[in-house]
Homo-oligomer: A and B are copies of this chain.
Amino acid sequence: MDKVDFTEKFALFSDRWSPKIVGEVNDAHVKIAKVQGAFVWHVHADEDEMFIIHRGRLTIRLRDRDVTLDPGQFFIVPRGVEHLPVAEEECEIIMLEPKTTLNTGDVVNERTVAEPEWI
């Protein structure tokens, strides 16, 4: 593989809530996504999910609190914890999660991306 530049990868697409794979490390994928608005409350029963902010601001709503993230910050949503990602303005996020992780977790709807593409 070659090195990856996050800014270059984000320039390759404009669709939102549609994670793209940019790397594979052990049993995990490195994914990036552009997001804006509210996603959907969901949970990953057996998988922790790491969110790193590349640009913009993301709030991860949990049932008992909100976690607001700026660039250079990350948060790991532990398995079994319901969460709702929300971004007022467009935000660029990097995610690290097992290859088996479905973006909508236990929910399957029009936002589910069963097989994210590599870019």
Give chain A's interface residues, CB within 8 Å of chain B: 1-7, 23-28, 30, 47-50, 54, 67-69, 72-76, 78, 96-98
Contact = CB atoms under 8 A, between A and B. Distances in A.
Interface centre among A3, A5, A26, A47, by most chain B C-beta atoms within 10 angstroms, is: A26
Contacts of A28: 25-26, 28, 96
What is the interface of chain A mostly: helix, strand, loop, or mixed? strand
B26 A72 contact: no
B96 A6 contact: no
Contact of A25 (B68, B72, B96): B96
Contact of A24 (B67, B76, B98): B76
A50 B76 contact: no
A74 B26 contact: no
A78 to B, nearest CB: 7
A26 B30 CA distance: 14
Given A2-B75, A26-B97, 9 more contacts: A1-B76, A3-B69, A3-B73, A4-B73, A5-B72, A5-B73, A6-B73, A25-B50, A28-B96
